[in-house]
Amino acid sequence: MNNKKRMIYFTIFAISLLVEIVIGLYIKDDFIRPYMGDVLVIVVLTSFLRLFWLAKPKYLGVYVTFFAIAVEFMQLFHLDRLLHIQGTLLGVVIGSTFDWKDILCYLVGGAIFVACEKILQNNK
């Protein structure tokens, strides 16, 4: 992967992360914060990993999406309570509330990443 593509992924990562932070700090609604934040987190993670991981792009989106879904299922079993990490940074990252809608959002985020990858691949 050349430096031009790395800059594209860095730009996607930086903008997505900034939007995610703004959503987390300032948006207190019933749609953007709970849904768009979950969609965007997949884009943030995949674009960051794409800076370093040179594997086939379609698999990266799938791996990150499955990872996010696995973390969501950890919430179903209250892993934060079982590991006594409530209130810690790791506890916040894992989360504590399972929601099927979050899984749908992660799938949408993964699909957006894969679609962006296809666009970038076609613009070679």
| Confidence grade of residue 31 (pLDDT, cut at 50, 70, 90) | very high
| Confidence grade of residue 118 (pLDDT, cut at 50, 70, 90) | confident
What is the overall mean pLDDT for the chain?
Answer: 88
**H-state helical runs in the chain:** 3-26, 37-50, 57-76, 79-82, 89-94, 100-122
| Residue type at 114 in one-letter notation | V
In this structure, the number of other CB atoms found within 10 A of the CB of residue 123 comes to: 8
User: Does 96 or 104 have the greater pLDDT score?
Assistant: 104
Helices 100-122 and 37-50: angle between axes, nearest 10 degrees: 40
- Confidence at residue 124, expressed as pLDDT on a 0 to 100 scale: 63
Does 108 have pLDDT greater than 90? yes
| Residue pLDDT, tens place only, 44-69 | 999 999 888 765 666 888 899 999 99
For residues 61 and 46, the answer to whether their CB atoms sit within 8 Å is: yes
Q: Domain residues of the chain, as ranges?
A: 3-122
| Residue pLDDT, tens place only, 4-13 | 888 988 999 9
| Confidence grade of residue 42 (pLDDT, cut at 50, 70, 90) | very high
Least confident of 2-6, 19-23, 33-37: 2-6
- Please report the DSSP string for 75-104 in residue order: HHTTHHHHTT-TTSHHHHHH-S---HHHHH
